[in-house]
């Protein structure tokens, strides 16, 4: 019977076929489409909600020069024809009640109820955003026989807006009305307008442009001043005409508490009826042709699409807000968890050694494939260990003379095993089978050990429950921004997480760069599997599920090369992330198991899912919402929140650097890391998740070596 460590490697052709799955590209198009759609929706949401001017109509009286306003308009009737040459007045003893700023879900129904009870028809000048928000109320206005008109889209001062925005405000409000009611209207009242005599040149610009676009401008003759909330009796008195002239009365059904308006309406209508006045819509009062017409097919569909879009953006913003809170809560939860765990981890480690000193010899296995750039430094550092070691370099079919370089060193205790290229798991299994000792250390060919690293790494094996030990991998090529950012990530991200995992007894990964193992434990789980691209994570999870405890020994320091270009970094992290997702799926059964396996499942896998999958997936939402906030919300508040988040990251960084004995100088680049490096890591997660969901098979990608490793020493 063959040992599981001596599995025959798959033929080269088969290996190539298994890794030939095409990385999906359509997901990037999908992601870009979703982001652009989200941005467009947020722009519409921001424009409609946060460009809204909620100042009461009567509060802005204008009062500028009126040289451009035609004299016949200044002295004419309140309804101004499209060409500005004609005006109209209501018929004698005719009252046209008009309501601005709605529809409002609270007050518009109450106003409509009073009008229905009194048998009176009125005219409602509606705000486009509110029509889109409450289309049912706009339909009720039309269905109950009232007239509906345009009062701009965001209640902005049309005269002071540029021409393009005036046109947009009118067109979008018309579309909202069409989408909600199925009819078009030719009536328009500019916000902050009042009587003809109050028109100035600024106001006239809005009236002129509205006329050019086919609207009749409706001003007022009596202002109830209900926006001042002087009391129901006063509002009714202000709206009561003197004499028999017809009037267009200004009231409001939105824009604040309109309880006084509703009460005043119940007083006003009976009194005026008793005084012989009749009530009519604006169109009826000035004997206009029908101001409302059924919308044409294409126009109706456009209106419905706009109402749907606006309501969808409301929903999207609600979802985004909840996701933002979720992302913030996750980030804060992680910060608190790792900080508390790190403090406790330090206290526990200070209580004393793991047990009696571990002095037995150790086999160090170095899987090597085209590692000529750093293999000499790696092997020399291992031989220089202050702990007895044998070093086995497994050359996995290198074509750059890696094995020859090691043999030429002729170092004592170093063996070279050559094999045809079969992949890193196969090379590790070859080394495990050839090892002379029970305790093993696995190290990548681009890693240099400190002299005491092996000794420190094996001390936890004094505890018979420990099956594997994670060491402390540090970045050696930390020059430049990319090197600094990865240095920060290793110290702040990886090492703080490992302290938490150690404390919670759910360590998911012993890094390939520096890890210790019991040979018997590895044999029991079948050696190193090639089922995932993250063989170190897969192996560690398998050991946890077999009941072994995996711990972190921060004093076992090794120096490893990090990618020196964004492209190389992408490939490495893509493989790591995708392989981790594979391992999580493979070991998902641990969630419902007990003992050490259950700790991995319910603690470790949950942590990975929340903070290494879901949180990065939410990150683009946070960034998009932050940009939205800077443009449409309070930029000072948004910058304050971002600064608070950055300060939290900095404090975590300072603490982690102190624990690791590192100088804090590189942390100056942390703000830049948030803008560039963080986005790259989030895209890596997104790419990995899409690849996993699509069922594509990603082949192993080897990182380019740069030969930056010190020859048997470290760089601090």
Question: Could you give the residue numbers annotated as active site?
Answer: 100, 252
Sign of the torsion angle spanned by Cα atoms 691, 692, 695, 697:
positive
What stretches of 227-320 adopt beta strand conformation (E)? Answer: 247-252, 278-279, 292-294
- CA 78/CA 285 separation, integer angstroms: 11
Sign of the torsion angle spanned by Cα atoms 630, 632, 636, 638:
negative
Q: Quick count: other Cβ atoms within 10 Å of Cβ 571? A: 17
Nearest to 53 by CA among 144, 140, 152: 152
Q: Are 42 and 628 in contact (CB under 8 A)?
A: yes
Residue 480, burial from CB neighbour count under 10 angstroms (0-12, 13-18, 19+): exposed
SS3 38: helix
Q: Are 94 and 233 in contact (CB under 8 A)?
A: no
- CA 150/CA 126 separation, integer angstroms: 5
Q: Which residue in this structure is represented by tokens 């240095």?
A: 487
The span from the first CA to the last CA of the chain, in angstroms, equals 50
Instruction: Return the axis-axis angle of helices 566-586 and 677-694, rounded to nearest 10°.
Output: 40
Nearest to 712 by CA among 379, 389, 366: 379
- Report the b/e string of 117-143 with b at 16+ CB within 10 A: eeebbbbbbbbbbbbbbbbebbbbbbe
């Amino acid at each position: 019977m063959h040992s599981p460590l001596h599995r025959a490697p798959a033929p080269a052709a088969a290996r190539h076929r298994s890794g030939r799955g095409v990385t999906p590209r359509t997901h990037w198009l999908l992601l870009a489409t979703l982001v652009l759609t989200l941005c467009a929706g947020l722009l519409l949401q921001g424009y409609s909600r946060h460009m809204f001017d909620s100042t009461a109509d009567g509060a802005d009286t204008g009062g500028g020069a009126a040289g451009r306003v035609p004299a016949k308009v200044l002295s004419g009737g309140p309804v101004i024809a499209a060409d500005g040459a004609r005006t109209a007045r209501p018929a004698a003893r005719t009252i046209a009640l008009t309501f601005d700023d709605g529809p409002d879900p609270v007050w518009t129904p109450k106003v409509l109820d009073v009008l229905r009870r009194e048998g009176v028809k009125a005219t409602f000048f509606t705000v486009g955003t509110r029509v889109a928000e409450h289309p049912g109320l706009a339909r009720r206005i039309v269905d109950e026989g009232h007239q509906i008109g345009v009062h701009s889209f965001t209640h902005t001062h049309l005269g002071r807006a540029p021409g393009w925005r005036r046109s947009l405000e009118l067109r979008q409000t018309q579309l909202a009305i069409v989408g909600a009611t199925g009819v078009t209207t030719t009536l328009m009242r500019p916000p902050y307008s009042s009587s003809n005599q109050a028109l100035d040149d600024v106001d006239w610009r809005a009236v002129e442009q509205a006329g050019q676009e086919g609207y009749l401008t409706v001003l007022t003759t009596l202002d109830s001043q209900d926006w001042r909330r002087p009391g129901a009796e006063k509002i009714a008195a202000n709206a009561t005409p003197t004499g028999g002239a017809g009037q267009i009365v200004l009231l409001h059904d939105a824009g604040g508490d309109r309880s006084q308006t509703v009460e005043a309406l119940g007083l006003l209508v009976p009194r005026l009826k008793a005084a012989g006045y009749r009530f009519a819509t604006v169109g009826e009062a000035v004997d206009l042709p029908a101001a409302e017409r059924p919308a044409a097919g294409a126009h109706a569909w456009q209106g419905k699409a706009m109402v749907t879009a606006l309501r969808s953006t409301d929903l999207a913003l609600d979802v985004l807000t909840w996701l933002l809170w979720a992302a913030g809560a996750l980030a804060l939860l992680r910060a608190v968890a790792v900080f508390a765990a790190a403090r406790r981890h330090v206290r526990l480690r200070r209580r004393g050694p793991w047990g009696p000193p571990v002095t037995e010899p150790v086999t160090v296995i170095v899987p090597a494939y085209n590692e000529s750039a750093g293999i000499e430094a790696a092997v020399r550092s291992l031989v220089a260990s202050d702990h007895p070691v044998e070093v086995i370099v497994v050359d996995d079919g290198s074509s750059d003379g890696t094995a020859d370089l090691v043999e030429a060193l002729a170092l004592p205790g170093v063996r070279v095993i050559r094999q045809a290229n079969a992949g890193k798991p196969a090379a590790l299994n070859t080394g495990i089978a050839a090892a002379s000792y029970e305790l093993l250390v696995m190290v990548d060919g681009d890693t240099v050990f400190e002299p005491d690293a092996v000794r420190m790494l094996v001390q936890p094996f004094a505890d018979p429950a420990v099956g594997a030990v994670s060491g402390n991998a540090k970045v050696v090529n930390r020059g430049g921004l990319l090197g600094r950012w990865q240095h920060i990530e290793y110290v702040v991200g990886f090492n703080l997480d490992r302290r938490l995992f150690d404390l919670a007894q759910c360590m998911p990964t012993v890094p390939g760069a520096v890890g210790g193992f019991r040979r018997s434990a590895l044999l029991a789980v079948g050696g190193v599997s090639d089922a995932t691209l993250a063989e170190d994570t897969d192996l560690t999870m398998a050991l946890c599920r077999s009941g072994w405890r995996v711990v972190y020994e921060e004093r076992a320091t090794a120096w490893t090369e990090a990618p020196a270009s964004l492209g190389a970094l992408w490939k490495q992290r893509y493989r790591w992330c995708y392989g981790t997702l594979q391992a999580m799926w493979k070991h998902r059964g641990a969630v419902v198991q007990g003992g050490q396996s259950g700790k991995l499942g319910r603690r470790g896998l949950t942590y990975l899912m929340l903070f290494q999958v879901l949180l990065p997936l939410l990150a683009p939402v946070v960034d998009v919402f932050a940009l939205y906030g800077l443009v449409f919300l309070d930029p000072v508040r948004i910058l304050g929140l971002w600064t608070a988040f950055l300060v939290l990251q900095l404090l975590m960084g300072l603490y982690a650097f102190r624990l690791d004995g590192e100088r804090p100088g590189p942390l100056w680049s942390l703000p830049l890391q948030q803008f560039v490096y963080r986005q790259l890591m989030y895209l890596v997660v997104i790419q990995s998740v899409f690849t996993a969901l699509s069922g594509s098979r990603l082949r192993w990608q080897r990182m380019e070596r740069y030969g930056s490793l010190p020859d048997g020493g470290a760089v601090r």
